[in-house]
Structure 1
Amino acid sequence: MQHYQHLIDGSWIEPASGAYFDSEEPFSGKAWARIGRGTEADVDRAVRAAHAAFTSGPWSRMTATERGARLRALADLLEANAERIGLIEQRDNGKLITEVAGQARGAAQWFHYYAGLADKVQGQVVPMPKPGVLNMVKYEPLGVVAAITPWNSPLSLTTWKVAPALAAGNTVVIKPSEFTSASILEFAALCEAAGIPPGVVNVVTGFGAEVGAPLVGHPLVAKVAFTGGDIAGQKVYEAAAADFKKVTLELGGKSPNIVFDDADLDQAVKGAIAGIFGATGQTCMAGSRLLLQDTIHDSFVERLVETVARARIGDPSDPETQIGPIATRPQFEKILSYIEIAKAEGARLVHGGHALSGEGYGQGQFVAPTIFTEVTNGMRIAQEEVFGPVLSVLRFHDEDEAVAIANDVNFGLAAGIWTRDLERALTVSDRVKAGTVWVNNYRATSFATPFGGYKRSGIGREGGTEAIKEYLQPKSIWITPRPNRANPFVLG
């Protein structure tokens, strides 16, 4: 059994309670690591360490260029350790080894990007309508950032927060999901090796009520960056509002993947499959609503089912596997319950719809890739995030109806559009209410461009130059070199 403690102020610390809990492999069901069970006392110690590092530690005295150099060293270490950390994360959340190793290498690229951006944040001199007055605007870090991350892509989604936060000059306390803490602790060890000073990156592991809630509510936390479901995000937002903390919330989605009859249908079938069955559907950007123009609906569904039926399902450590297990037992049960809800609502099951067990399926925490047709947009299966390999197929007649269906949902994270018509691609991209729109591709992300959602899909953006602004605040400075105020009672 691997044994993990908290990382606080540069030291590996036993939980204040002395308690630990097991982390289990989704495929085998076997416990493989012991994770420290944090409490409010651990949170307070970590936040105070981060606050001291921000206000008086060496991090606070570094130039932006020096910070960038440390982040570049961290990026190099992440690159060198990508395979090892990928294997650890795969044991924790059951994702395909081919995917998690790629995500670990991708995390290195995020740190390279923000390392370069650290000393590119520039203020400005603002022309004033008042003679003899100089106005400057500069950007300053916020302070201690609480980064709360989920189990589906722990290293990637932690990187999306920590890289811009550190580049901006903040310090962080990370609370990973209790299901997937190990890769984040391994990442934190690399921060030390890269020369990032003690207290700048801290990790407290444990459960939401025992670690997450006191972290969000701590008076020395200046900002909360959270990824998770919309209900949990709403609670985080409400708690942060009590102290007027800044927040970034990257929440759920019920993303439409729209296929018009003039699309390259071979590519659209692949895009539909990747959109919902990639990562076993356990991704916020999943294309869980497939909107098909009525002229191609039947033939497209037939091709879709034929392709999905050939999917290789099983051990995620096997490079040939295409669909792995569900990451957690509660999520596995939730997905199966939504399948039953869809049946009861009158959706037509055309593929899957059941758990998989037996030889090759480990402990049996697998759900067959599932496709429902005859779905209407009022059904729960079309409105609520399932977060699993379950696809709802909806018909539309024309562009107006496609847009109406796409927008008739409480989420607005992402959308896909498949068409050969450039004018249609641009028009529908403008009309769809989503933070990311993919045209003739799906699930592409990059450190260079912002990602985030409309409506209940969240607040703020991660990625690109927009993300570093989420961790900075502007300050306006007015300078009058030679004050000469004739009447001190008149401001101007």
Structure 2
Amino acid sequence: MILLDFKFHEWQWQYQISTTFFVFGIVPFVFWVYARYITASPNKYNKLEEPVKLSVPIPAEAKPHWKGKRLYPPNLTIRAANEPTKIQSYCPATGQYLGTFTATTRDEMNQQIANAKVAQKEWKASSFSLRRQVLKTLSRFILDNQEDIARIACRDSGKTKLDASMGEIMVTLEKLKWIIAHGERVLRPSQRPGPSNLLIGMMKNGEVRYEPLGVVAALVSWNYPFHNLMGPIIAALFTGNAIIVKCSEQVIWSSTWYIDLVRLVLKSLEIDPNLVQLCCCYAEDADHFTSHPGLSHITFIGSKPVAHKVVESASKELTPVVVELGGKDSLIVLDDVKDIESLSSVILRGTFQSAGQNCIGVERVICLPKSYEKLVEIFTERIKEFRLGSDIDQLDEIDMGAMISDNRFKQLEALVEDAVSKGARLIHGGKPYQHPNYPQGHYFEPTLIVDVDPSMRIFQEEVFGPVLTMIKANDVDDAVNLANGTEYGLGNSVFGSNFRQINEIANRLDSGNVAINDFATFYVAQLPFGGIKKSGYGKFGGEEGLLGLCVAKSVVMDKPIMRLFGVATSIPPPIDYPIKDDKRAWKFVSSLNTAGYDTRVWNIIKAFKKLAKGGA
């Protein structure tokens, strides 16, 4: 039973409420009130913003028990044999063929951008109510079709359904709900104080208006085929832009279905679907796209070598680029962590989700001595129990899926071998894994390597694979120096019990993002996301991400009271052309500056006297 006391002055009531009634009566009612009234968009258009119900069939290749033909080397590649303009798709977990697609030609890119420009002219004048309805329709479909969306992502990327749910669906739903709730407030005109000049400030107001850029582009990586594609689309549509997404050739099969879904949402609301389009091509044609004069902004998510080419190409038209590159994220563990077992689960998820192919994955675990030994012991036991495979095809429980391809396997092995040759200990893994059911699948063993130090390549170079790297620090200062000791600066995590201490550590870390006693939640929280150093520049996500897709137009105007009395800007006679008396004009302007900016009262009074005399 639950005992509730209510006191009012000298009276007191006591009620006993059954736990069953509390759990199944009061709690659901509170949640209903919260969902119905508190989280509802505070505007009169709520009824007009109801999501439209959609029905979109799932591809046969993503259905359970699908039996597709398997590809074998040398045909296990995205390059179709003897067809240079074709892109071949296959499942990296099973080697099953998914289809062949024609790469977007330069003429088609031109047409896409032209069509998007026409569609955006109407869309930029759309109401926030309609934009929210688009996002609500998309959100409702995702919620009602989570497994289908996850299976499509798994089939094209090789990840598990759990990884797809957490890394693809949850973060996309969060972005949608956050923008639905807060996007209009962010994009409202921002009122500014106006001129600080005493005289001009009495007359003028200032504000910044946020207007869409036009046609924007996003070049996104393959590791999260759903979320990486949807994130830029959601932000672009809500800010009134059109967008063309260039997906990776590795995931054109799933990207095509996802783009078709968004275009169906637009069509269902009688909106021109050319607002959202998909481009996919090989590197030889990418420069034409990124240097196109019809693009107003580019978001690039990928590797540093490709970023150099994108930025160079975009510079031909002075197109601004937000660059989000790789990381060498560290997770610092202090010796006062209370629940080391729970922390070990966080580290394993942060390292091995999507087979370690995460830009903000845990690349280095830096521990103080006491925590170090405990974690090495725990990881030694847990990692050897990992099960690999394709959970959308197998009935068995699967912990980790495949990598997108095997083209980096030799690099991963070389990093491990270099570390071992310099004194590191390889506890588990370190080599490709041949799956008994899917021998052509791209699997790499979950790897644990300990006693790593800065002299080893694996400390400095991004792994982007299923490798847990352990580094021992002597003390807090050493841990911070180790964390900052690479060319990257994307994200970090700090774990400890003394909040003041870990907060100070967070301030000392050279990175764009830090999670305190957590992993990567800065990304879920819709904060501005981006790195420093060789991890890129610029931000997407949150308020800054939306504003970055807008023209910040500065507007100054007369204050309403001035307009009411017909007071308007005019040029005083002493400084009107042609200047009649330059000495008098000079005294007038200098007095204007003194009256407007001086803080000494007597000087201001004297300046006003001179102004009253017209500078005489």
Q: Same fold (TM over 0.5)?
A: yes
Give yes or no for contact 1:411–1:455 (8 Å, CA) kept in 2: yes
Structure 2 counterparts to residues 191-230 of structure 1, below 5 A: 191-195=262-266, 196-210=271-285, 212-230=286-304
482-491 or 33-42, larger mean C-alpha shift: 482-491
Give yes or no for contact 2:209–2:554 (8 Å, CA) kept in 1: yes
Structure 2 counterparts to residues 314-325 of structure 1, below 5 A: 314-317=389-392, 318=394, 320-325=397-402
Give yes or no for contact 1:146–1:215 (8 Å, CA) kept in 2: no
Q: Partner of 2:545 in structure 1? A: 467
Q: Partner of 1:26 in structure 2? A: 92
Distance 1:35 1:332 in 2: 26
Distance 2:288 2:525 in 1: 30
Q: Sort the Cα spacing of 1:366 and 1:125 in 2 relative to 1 into closer, same or farther, 3 A.
A: closer
439-448 or 374-383, larger mean C-alpha shift: 439-448
Give yes or no for contact 2:389–2:435 (8 Å, CA) kept in 1: no
Distance 1:90 1:242 in 2: 38
Find out whether 1:176 has 2:253 as its counterpart.
no
Find out whether 1:145 has 2:216 as its counterpart.
yes
Distance 1:426 1:241 in 2: 39
SS at the partner of 1:451? coil
Identity %: 27
Distance 1:173 1:423 in 2: 45
Q: Partner of 1:74 in structure 2? A: 138
Give yes or no for contact 1:371–1:391 (8 Å, CA) kept in 2: yes
Please, which of 158, 182, 186 is the counterpart of residue 94 of structure 1? Answer: 158
Q: Sort the Cα spacing of 1:299 and 1:101 in 2 relative to 1 into closer, same or farther, 3 A.
A: closer
Give yes or no for contact 1:164–1:468 (8 Å, CA) kept in 2: yes
Q: Partner of 1:14 in structure 2? A: none
1:73 offset after TM fit, Å? 1.8
307-316 or 87-96, larger mean C-alpha shift: 307-316
1:179 offset after TM fit, Å? 0.5
Give yes or no for contact 2:163–2:353 (8 Å, CA) kept in 1: no
38-47 or 281-290, larger mean C-alpha shift: 38-47
Q: Partner of 2:115 in structure 1? A: 49
Q: Sort the Cα spacing of 1:76 and 1:125 in 2 relative to 1 into closer, same or farther, 3 A.
A: same
Q: Partner of 1:84 in structure 2? A: 148
Give yes or no for contact 2:92–2:441 (8 Å, CA) kept in 1: no
SS at the partner of 2:468? strand
SS at the partner of 1:371? strand
Report 1 or 2 for greater relative contact order, CA contacts < 8 Å, sequence distance ≥ 6.
1
Q: Partner of 2:612 in structure 1? A: none
Kindly provide the CA deviation profile for residues 321-378 of structure 1, in whole angstroms up to 9, marking residues without a partner as x. 1111111121334323333333344432121111111414542421111122221113
Q: Sort the Cα spacing of 1:248 and 1:2 in 2 relative to 1 into closer, same or farther, 3 A.
A: farther
**Aligned AA (1:53):** A
Structure 2 counterparts to residues 116-155 of structure 1, below 5 A: 116-120=181-185, 121-126=187-192, 127-128=194-195, 129=197, 130=200, 131-155=202-226
1:297 offset after TM fit, Å? 2.6
Give yes or no for contact 1:281–1:389 (8 Å, CA) kept in 2: yes
SS at the partner of 2:221? coil
Q: Sort the Cα spacing of 1:332 and 1:45 in 2 relative to 1 into closer, same or farther, 3 A.
A: farther
Please, which of 432, 440, 452 is the counterpart of residue 375 of structure 1? Answer: 452
Q: Partner of 1:63 in structure 2? A: 127
Q: Sort the Cα spacing of 1:364 and 1:341 in 2 relative to 1 into closer, same or farther, 3 A.
A: farther
SS at the partner of 2:300? strand
Give yes or no for contact 2:304–2:326 (8 Å, CA) kept in 1: yes
CA RMSD of aligned residues (A): 2.4
SS at the partner of 1:330? coil
Give yes or no for contact 2:326–2:490 (8 Å, CA) kept in 1: yes
1:192 offset after TM fit, Å? 2.3
Give yes or no for contact 1:78–1:190 (8 Å, CA) kept in 2: no
Please, which of 156, 162, 168 is the counterpart of residue 233 of structure 2? Answer: 162
Distance 1:397 1:461 in 2: 34
Distance 1:134 1:74 in 2: 39
Q: Sort the Cα spacing of 1:155 and 1:304 in 2 relative to 1 into closer, same or farther, 3 A.
A: same
Kindly provide the CA deviation profile for residues 4-42 of structure 1, in whole angstroms up to 9, marking residues without a partner as x. xxxxxxxxxxxxx99432101111112112223112222
Q: Partner of 2:317 in structure 1? A: 243
309-318 or 340-349, larger mean C-alpha shift: 340-349
Q: Which has the larger radius of gyration?
A: 2
Give yes or no for contact 2:159–2:390 (8 Å, CA) kept in 1: no
**Aligned AA (2:477):** D
Q: Sort the Cα spacing of 1:299 and 1:483 in 2 relative to 1 into closer, same or farther, 3 A.
A: closer
Give yes or no for contact 1:253–1:285 (8 Å, CA) kept in 2: yes
Q: Sort the Cα spacing of 1:77 and 1:488 in 2 relative to 1 into closer, same or farther, 3 A.
A: farther
**Aligned AA (1:381):** I
Give yes or no for contact 1:275–1:287 (8 Å, CA) kept in 2: yes
1:395 offset after TM fit, Å? 1.1
Distance 1:19 1:410 in 2: 37
Determine which structure has the larger helix proportion and give its number: 2
Give yes or no for contact 1:26–1:93 (8 Å, CA) kept in 2: yes
1:290 offset after TM fit, Å? 1.1
Give yes or no for contact 1:140–1:472 (8 Å, CA) kept in 2: yes
Distance 2:128 2:442 in 1: 47
SS at the partner of 1:339? helix
447-456 or 194-203, larger mean C-alpha shift: 447-456
**Aligned AA (1:429):** A
Find out whether 1:404 has 2:404 as its counterpart.
no
Kindly provide the CA deviation profile for residues 430-455 of structure 1, in whole angstroms up to 9, marking residues without a partner as x. 11112222223223331532322121
**Aligned AA (2:293):** P
Give yes or no for contact 1:68–1:119 (8 Å, CA) kept in 2: no
Q: Sort the Cα spacing of 1:47 and 1:117 in 2 relative to 1 into closer, same or farther, 3 A.
A: farther
Kindly provide the CA deviation profile for residues 282-341 of structure 1, in whole angstroms up to 9, marking residues without a partner as x. 101111111121234333212211111111222242472111111112133432333333
Distance 1:2 1:177 in 2: 22
Q: Sort the Cα spacing of 1:296 and 1:106 in 2 relative to 1 into closer, same or farther, 3 A.
A: closer
Kindly provide the CA deviation profile for residues 179-222 of structure 1, in whole angstroms up to 9, marking residues without a partner as x. 01233222222222222423210101222332x32221101111
SS at the partner of 2:124? helix
Q: TM-score, normalised by structure 1?
A: 0.90
413-422 or 344-353, larger mean C-alpha shift: 344-353
100-109 or 260-269, larger mean C-alpha shift: 100-109
**Aligned AA (1:272):** I
Distance 1:31 1:361 in 2: 13
Q: Sort the Cα spacing of 1:104 and 1:207 in 2 relative to 1 into closer, same or farther, 3 A.
A: farther
Q: Partner of 1:12 in structure 2? A: none
174-183 or 119-128, larger mean C-alpha shift: 119-128
1:138 offset after TM fit, Å? 0.8
Distance 1:446 1:200 in 2: 26
Q: TM-score, normalised by structure 2?
A: 0.73
Q: Partner of 1:256 in structure 2? A: 330
Distance 1:427 1:433 in 2: 13
Give yes or no for contact 1:255–1:285 (8 Å, CA) kept in 2: yes
Q: Partner of 1:432 in structure 2? A: 509
Give yes or no for contact 2:291–2:315 (8 Å, CA) kept in 1: no
Q: Sort the Cα spacing of 1:125 and 1:450 in 2 relative to 1 into closer, same or farther, 3 A.
A: closer
**Aligned AA (2:491):** A
**Aligned AA (2:448):** I
Please, which of 524, 528, 536 is the counterpart of residue 446 of structure 1? Answer: 524
Kindly provide the CA deviation profile for residues 202-256 of structure 1, in whole angstroms up to 9, marking residues without a partner as x. 101222332x322211011111101111222233223223322222221100011
Distance 1:205 1:342 in 2: 38
Q: Sort the Cα spacing of 1:265 and 1:361 in 2 relative to 1 into closer, same or farther, 3 A.
A: farther
Give yes or no for contact 1:67–1:118 (8 Å, CA) kept in 2: no
